[in-house]
Structure 1
Amino acid sequence: MTVRVRRTTPRWHTHELRLGTDEVTKRYHDTQAEPAEREWRALVLLQRHAPGLAPRPLRRTPGRHPDLVMSRLPGEPLRGTPVAGPALVALADSVARLLDAVPPAAAAALPERRAGRAEATAQIRQWYARRTPAAREPGVAAVLAEGMRWLERPWPAVAEEAGLEPVLGQGDGNLANFLWDGERVRVVDFEESGRSDRAFELAEITEHVGSWVDPGTAFDAEEFLGLVPLDAGERVRLLECRRLIALVWLLMLTRDDPARPRNPRGTVRAQAARLDALLGQVC
Structure 2
Amino acid sequence: MQWSTHEIEILGDTVTKRYREGDVRALLDREWRALTLLYAHAPGLAPAPLSVDREADPPTVVMSRVPGVPLRGAPVDAARLSALAGTLDAMYRAVPRDRLLRVPMRPDHEAGLIAGLRIRHDRTPAPGTGAVVREALREGMAWLDGRRDRATAPDEPAPVFGAGDGNLANYLWDAETSRIAVVDFEDSGRSDRAFELAEITEHVSSWVDGGFDDGVGGGLDAAAFLARFDLTVQERARLRDCRRLLALTWLFILAAADPARSRNPPGTDERQALRLRALLG
Q: TM-score, normalised by structure 2?
A: 0.91
1:219 match: secondary structure = coil
- Aligned-pair RMSD on alpha carbons? 2.0
Q: Which runs of 4+ in 1 moved over 4 A?
A: 156-161
CA distance in 1, matches of 2:137, 2:94: 37
- The AA in structure 2 aligned to 1:53 is L
2:140 is aligned with 1:139: no
Deviation of the 1:162 alpha carbon: 3.2
The correspondence for 2:15, drawn from 18, 24, 43, is 24
CA distance in 2, matches of 1:104, 1:54: 20
* 1:244 matched residue in structure 2: 245
| Contact kept in structure 1, 2:126 and 2:257, CA below 8 Å | no
Deviation of the 1:259 alpha carbon: 2.5
Q: Please list the CA deviations of residues 77-98 of structure 1 after superposition, one character each: whole Å capped at 9, or x if unmatched.
A: 0001220111111011111111
* 1:254 matched residue in structure 2: 255
1:17 match: secondary structure = strand
2:33 is aligned with 1:41: yes
- The AA in structure 1 aligned to 2:13 is D
2:258 match: secondary structure = coil
Q: TM-score, normalised by structure 1?
A: 0.90
* 1:112 matched residue in structure 2: 105
- The AA in structure 2 aligned to 1:263 is N
1:92 match: secondary structure = helix
* 1:57 matched residue in structure 2: 49
CA distance in 2, matches of 1:17, 1:157: 38
Q: Please list the CA deviations of residues 155-181 of structure 1 after superposition, one character each: whole Å capped at 9, or x if unmatched.
A: 387994733211111000000000001
CA distance in 2, matches of 1:161, 1:276: 29
CA distance in 1, matches of 2:194, 2:10: 33
2:76 is aligned with 1:83: yes
* 1:209 matched residue in structure 2: 204
Q: Please list the CA deviations of residues 182-204 of structure 1 after superposition, one character each: whole Å capped at 9, or x if unmatched.
A: 11011010000011000000000
* 1:263 matched residue in structure 2: 264
1:132 match: secondary structure = coil
CA distance in 1, matches of 2:31, 2:204: 22
| Contact kept in structure 1, 2:18 and 2:59, CA below 8 Å | yes
* 2:86 matched residue in structure 1: 93
Structure 2: stretches of 5+ with no match in the other structure:
212-217
Q: Please list the CA deviations of residues 38-72 of structure 1 after superposition, one character each: whole Å capped at 9, or x if unmatched.
A: 01001111011100000000101112421000000
Structure 1: stretches of 5+ with no match in the other structure:
none
Q: How many residues align?
A: 271
